[in-house]
Amino acid sequence: MALPHTDTFDSGDGTNLETHNADYNVFFGSMEINDNSAMGNAGSGSACLESGDTYANNQYAQAIVDYSGTNDLGILISRFTTSFNGYGYGSEGTGGATTSERYDAGVPTTIIADATDWADTDDVRIEANGTTIEIFLNSSSDGSTTDATFSSGDPGMLFGDDDQGMAFDSINFGNLPFPVSQSNAPRAWGHYHRTLA
């Protein structure tokens, strides 16, 4: 498939994510589609990568949030691997914690704390661009930090449990243009900035 990888999850309720599209590698737990949104379906959490495409090291993961009002956990991931290494941007919605984490074998390190809580229909995005990790909420930057730990991986999704209160209504995964100039920076899916690394 050509990038960007986009998906509006138009399959019947209860469809496993891999059945919906075999490009998804659900390597921990399980995920399913309900109400045309992707969500977790495993009590101990779930994780998937989009493995049907080859991603550059400078990449993004973006989604429209489907939030039902209960404090369940959804995380967009970027530059992530099946060894549970990579970067995430996650929220439990209103009143829950919203952070960006680096994962080392699944163990989190908070690299951006107290980000803005996600709400239903929010447009959320994480970019791994050189050594800059930046998160965006509705096309505005909500924080950035420098981290050189990991250089490669794929975008994907994590869910904290099977309560399904935080889901993704649609996703858009792709590569960041490099180098970026003001004239070629896409606007519709958020902002970019340039980091040499």
Using the rule CB under 8 A, which residue among 11, 37, 59, 99 binds other proteins? 99
Burial 130-154 (b: 16+ CB within 10 A, else e): bebbbbbbeeeebbbbebeebeebb
Q: Tell me: cis bond preceding 179? Omega within 30 of 0 counts.
A: yes
- Site membership for other proteins, residue 132 (CB under 8 A): yes
- Near other proteins by CB under 8 A, which window of 48-56, 62-70, 83-91, 168-176? 83-91
**Under the criterion CB under 8 A, does residue 113 sit at the interface with other proteins?**
yes
Complex with other proteins: residue 11 or 157, whichever CB lies closer: 157
* 182 Cβ contact list (under 8 Å, min separation 6): none
Rounded CA-CA distance 192/154 in Å is 18
Given 9, 24, 150, 168, the residue binding other proteins (CB under 8 A): 150
Site for other proteins in 20-39 (CB under 8 A): 28
Nearest to other proteins of 36, 71 (CB atom): 71
Q: Which region, judged by CB under 8 A, interacts with other proteins, from 9-17, 58-66, 135-143, 172-180?
A: 135-143
Q: Is residue 75 near other proteins by the rule CB under 8 A?
A: yes
What the block records as the tokens of 111 is 């690299």
- Compute the least distance from the CB of residue 80 to other proteins, in Å: 10
Q: Which is nearer to other proteins, 58 or 132 (CB)?
A: 132
Question: Which residue number, 32 or 92, has a Cβ lying nearer to other proteins?
Answer: 92
Instruction: Please state the φ and ψ torsions of residue 19, each to the nearest 5 degrees.
Output: -70, -40
- Identify the three-state secondary structure at position 124: strand
Q: How far is CA 196 from CA 19, 112, 190, in A?
A: 39, 21, 20
88 makes contact with other proteins (CB under 8 A):
yes
**Residue type at 131?**
T
Shortest spacing between CB 109 and other proteins, in angstroms: 4
